[in-house]
Structure 1
């Protein structure tokens, strides 16, 4: 099945009335009342609604690259599709089913295969269901063997004879250098890669591997593979150390793209190299994170594809620069071919997330590509800061990072029930209203500079950890505080 938004009838004789045409619509059940978002920025509100409708319209029997072309899952797309689905829908089984399919039926980009590990871990965090981790543990370990073999495919070769099935593969970790070889998609189409120069040891691929090894270590701990825990932890630590030692330029605050086989550095600093490193936490301290963030934020202008911005935005928010992420999302420039969501909504007039910023960047782009729905997850998990701490939301975090926004309100699902958070700021006075579902606890993180904190509401609140972190049991709370 493919989707068509417009139909042209050619050669028809006679009179045709609108009621003479019928069509079928197929979609997963979708509960509109499970999720909502409003703010004092109308552009951001529209981006959320586009993201939510993208999930509603494109989620069917599996997550798909696009309903208009491939109509099959891709692992990189799964990151955005899955996380935005988590933000707006409690249909968790569709994510797990799509992931289960991809484990056996991988796509060609080498870095995409690593996202199976990431999404398996996130599925467990969001649902508390460890069945897939246990039944697919061995197959997930295969994803970490990305050495070049007969199954390696660059996406363009006409002579490829592999099967693209999940096999044990070749370990590509180089013990002498402390980095992995090979490379991934980086971004797509190729002109969107900001001039990235590939070598034998590539910064983006190693940054993603660092994250994958860390998460595989956590999966090993959950599933009782005790010997693997330290193995993957040590590999992650080594990659992080070597990336910083060999490929980070402290003076410019940027990562170089890659190392050659003779360990000479390709001294080009694409935004992609630094953005992937920032996203996966490849920095030694806050000062380094601040330098990377300044470069990645790119003076308020997106760089790369509408897919790649997931890594930009997540890195900025996790590093403490949500204000830069919000500035990128709320850029009002809607001129044709601008890399903004204002242009996507006002000029492209998209109602579902597109594959590219416009046809200028990808002439054969589709208008049904969930990998462009990053605003949805960024708003809920980033700006509103609602994320599971313990699997299944037994404990979850609320850390609102409003930037220059004055008013925010969100409803998002969890296995425990709906989570509702509202934020409002008037001058130096801020107020949060939080609703914690039954059988759950929330860790509310306020700004470090918050003073005069007042809490009213349900009486079974837990004690504060410190001045800026408050533990809340199930119930409804109103928290006001002074913020300079």
Structure 2
């Protein structure tokens, strides 16, 4: 099976501004008409589906189904609009060429379809449209099952239509379907989010995606209906359980082929283990006593493997990459390749051994035309490949791995935003943060591409800010708010959405909802998307009211249940919590500002009154002797533990009087006082399972001087810390603490890791230095809601030269600074705030000015 890289026929969404396309666009018109296609799939068990109230078919386990339709085109039209949706995931082909993958993750009742122009793939005469549809059966990191309605929502199904000019091609009973026994899935590790496949290429019909393939042995597709008392046997969207199908809302994913920078090979003894074991288990078992990578090789790579001696390859891609593993192989039928994907070099003694990603797959060779692109996306730096002869073989096997690479597939950056200064370290941090976020920008913002790929509601606020400050396409920044807007019945958000955690309806991280509210406020500042913002406000208010149930007699937040994470650092949130109170207060102010702007004075007044009352009670957390706020009060006693999180959240919420801000920043950024501690991470570089178990039992061990030392925020909550430092006007301290992110950039890794000294090496929540360089150092941010004008307030420290471009709804804002000269070119009106002089208002356009106090050569 040949899977070629998708072209640009996917419907792309315009950058930054309006999400509407011109009405004359035929693709745009096509996606707004009523659906012609029907839901189709494999015929369900006739005894399992029956009309009635709430009757459903049993849910199918993991499976992959092939869908196929041959059709004739007299003449290729100039444009051939199409749209489709599949449950759970699809890969679409026309005449054997891959058109696209999807759909984007969503809640099942808010499913989103994809639109394509098929014209570039068509030819006069016979054509085929084919699809591989994966049904996961069980929820995973990026998919949650629908509430079934008869057979819909219980198995692989597809709805498709295309306007070919002379008529519609639609999904109906004229399609053919086959469920080959080519794919199975291995049991998942509880930390892993990505399915681990076994694919037997011998069971994939050769040429099935081409027009002349004989599909007469395949079954006719079955038109599927919503089967319940109110479903009225509807087979076309909108139908239960997927609702009114929504537009995709974001652009296409893409990327380049990434090849290893080095590959090493070794012969390893065969391992006695069951063939059904996970590929990772088998690969690692074969490496006991050493990593075995002792001979550099290149592709194409030929080798001989035998029943007693297998071949082991280690590919190093030089950096973290994320996409689809692509293999081209010349080998006898039945030859097995086990893949294991890693973030770090293999070390059995490493503290991450217990929690390292278990991603991988197994490929069984067809014996001819072995070309395969993985159906699941993985992130990795190191790829281990264990090559074994066909099980039962008694003779050596000669084979050649012709090509082996990763086709990256991430959300693409639009425009040419950049940050270049005479400070190489800061330039590197800017690029590293952008790369980190891009490796966590897929159909949604994810925590990491290597282990989970879950969309955590709190994490995404940092990703969103990096997109808003460096990417001219803000569609994914908007999608973050839409996807997260999925409250539980009590009003609070799940900690992760669009996947297994939301589907499980379990406990949540309540403060993640408060960061999501900050994401709504970010859109309010950067965009004029009042429709999305207004639609989000009821959920914002429900979250704030959820917290109001935990307001104590002091008007502060106390004794909040569930998992009050705040950060991976060792902060205290039990009893009366200063941090939760401050995050809630920040959200109250943001809600009040938006409500007032949109004309909802009553809601604004309600939120402001709560904030005012919290401000009075919050004073109890102030430690005058230390000059900062403590974490919590328990049984009426102020506890001494203080953290960066407590001090910073006091500033960003406005609860701390302005005259205290500088003093707080001095304390919480003092290298002599700040210590790194985590309830979860170990000093040896890995997750500390003992600490995790102790915390679950209510044990939080203090191993620092709580009277003198301040616990440093981990990279995630540092976005709040950096905002606080900037608000206090302390650019000197901001640049100092920002530089510590350089510790992540070593040995080829060019991304920011999860935590200080441990965790994954590419974690999107850690990318705050990139947005800080734009918002706080270059000083570019919206001057008013909707980004109708721009605030430019450079705070450069020791930087002498700086040239940068920043996205805005009206186009790029460019700034060029050389010593005392600053050149600004802005499509928006400017509020210029230079140090030491009153702010100035400038018209849109090009301006050259002098920076005060910066003579050349200072």
| Pairwise TM-score range, normalised by the shorter structure | 0.7 to 0.9
Tell me the equivalent position of 1:268. 641
C-alpha contact 1:111 1:205 (8 A) present in aligned 2: yes
CA distance in 2, matches of 1:407, 1:238: 46
Tell me the equivalent position of 1:442. 830
CA distance in 1, matches of 2:441, 2:646: 31
Measure how far apart 1:394 and its partner are.
Answer: 0.9
SS of the equivalent of 2:511 reads helix
- In the alignment, structure 1 residue 404 sits paired with structure 2 residue 798: yes
**Matching of residues 149-188 of structure 1 within 5 Å:** 171-174=549-552, 176-183=553-560, 184-188=564-568
Which structure dedicates a bigger proportion of its chain to strand?
A: 2
Provide, for residues 235-276 of structure 1, a one-character-per-residue CA deviation record: whole Å limited to 9, x for no partner.
112222321x2111223211121122x422112223321122
CA distance in 2, matches of 1:177, 1:256: 16
CA distance in 2, matches of 1:266, 1:328: 27
- In the alignment, structure 1 residue 324 sits paired with structure 2 residue 324: no
Tell me the equivalent position of 1:373. 767
Measure how far apart 1:144 and its partner are.
Answer: 1.3
CA distance in 2, matches of 1:81, 1:476: 31
Measure how far apart 1:476 and its partner are.
Answer: 1.0
SS of the equivalent of 1:408 reads strand
Tell me the equivalent position of 1:151. none
C-alpha contact 1:306 1:357 (8 A) present in aligned 2: yes
**Matching of residues 138-153 of structure 1 within 5 Å:** 138-147=538-547
SS of the equivalent of 1:218 reads helix
- Of residues 494, 516, 525, the one that matches 1:106 is 494
**Matching of residues 46-445 of structure 1 within 5 Å:** 46-104=428-486, 106-107=494-495, 108-147=508-547, 171-174=549-552, 176-183=553-560, 184-188=564-568, 192-193=569-570, 196-243=571-618, 245-260=619-634, 262-286=635-659, 288-299=660-671, 303-330=712-739, 340-346=740-746, 349-359=748-758, 365-425=759-819, 430-437=820-827, 440-445=828-833
Q: Runs of 4 or more off by more than 4 Å in structure 1?
A: none
Measure how far apart 1:293 and its partner are.
Answer: 0.6
Measure how far apart 1:207 and its partner are.
Answer: 0.9
RMSD of aligned Cα (Å): 2.1
CA distance in 2, matches of 1:2, 1:280: 39
Gaps of 5+ in 1: 148-169, 331-339, 360-364, 449-466
C-alpha contact 1:392 1:416 (8 A) present in aligned 2: no
Measure how far apart 1:410 and its partner are.
Answer: 1.4
CA distance in 1, matches of 2:621, 2:795: 31
Name whichever of 132-141 and 277-286 sits farther off. 277-286
Tell me the equivalent position of 1:335. none
Measure how far apart 1:15 and its partner are.
Answer: 4.6
- Rate the CA distance shift 1:269–1:20 in 2: closer, same or farther, 3 A: closer
Gaps of 5+ in 2: 1-375, 389-396, 487-492, 496-507, 677-711
| Higher RCO (CA 8 Å, separation ≥ 6 residues) | 1
- Rate the CA distance shift 1:294–1:35 in 2: closer, same or farther, 3 A: same
- Rate the CA distance shift 1:131–1:251 in 2: closer, same or farther, 3 A: same
Name whichever of 471-480 and 216-225 sits farther off. 216-225
CA distance in 2, matches of 1:406, 1:7: 43
CA distance in 1, matches of 2:589, 2:655: 12
C-alpha contact 2:440 2:447 (8 A) present in aligned 1: no
CA distance in 1, matches of 2:826, 2:605: 36
C-alpha contact 1:110 1:146 (8 A) present in aligned 2: no
Provide, for residues 261-300 of structure 1, a one-character-per-residue CA deviation record: whole Å limited to 9, x for no partner.
x4221122233211222333332133x1111010121238
CA distance in 1, matches of 2:772, 2:580: 23
C-alpha contact 2:622 2:629 (8 A) present in aligned 1: yes
SS of the equivalent of 1:443 reads strand
Tell me the equivalent position of 2:688. none
Measure how far apart 1:22 and its partner are.
Answer: 4.6
Tell me the equivalent position of 2:213. none
CA distance in 1, matches of 2:751, 2:722: 20
CA distance in 2, matches of 1:376, 1:116: 20
C-alpha contact 1:436 1:472 (8 A) present in aligned 2: no
Measure how far apart 1:376 and its partner are.
Answer: 0.7
C-alpha contact 1:306 1:372 (8 A) present in aligned 2: yes
TM-score (norm 2): 0.46
- In the alignment, structure 1 residue 3 sits paired with structure 2 residue 378: yes
CA distance in 1, matches of 2:472, 2:458: 21
Provide, for residues 74-122 of structure 1, a one-character-per-residue CA deviation record: whole Å limited to 9, x for no partner.
2221121100111111221212212211120620211111122211111
C-alpha contact 2:593 2:604 (8 A) present in aligned 1: yes
Measure how far apart 1:215 and its partner are.
Answer: 0.5
TM-score (norm 1): 0.80
C-alpha contact 1:297 1:312 (8 A) present in aligned 2: no
Measure how far apart 1:481 and its partner are.
Answer: 3.9
Measure how far apart 1:56 and its partner are.
Answer: 2.9
C-alpha contact 1:2 1:69 (8 A) present in aligned 2: no
Provide, for residues 213-237 of structure 1, a one-character-per-residue CA deviation record: whole Å limited to 9, x for no partner.
0011112223332211111011112
CA distance in 1, matches of 2:622, 2:811: 44
CA distance in 1, matches of 2:767, 2:785: 24
SS of the equivalent of 1:87 reads helix
Larger radius of gyration: 2
CA distance in 2, matches of 1:27, 1:326: 30
SS of the equivalent of 2:655 reads coil
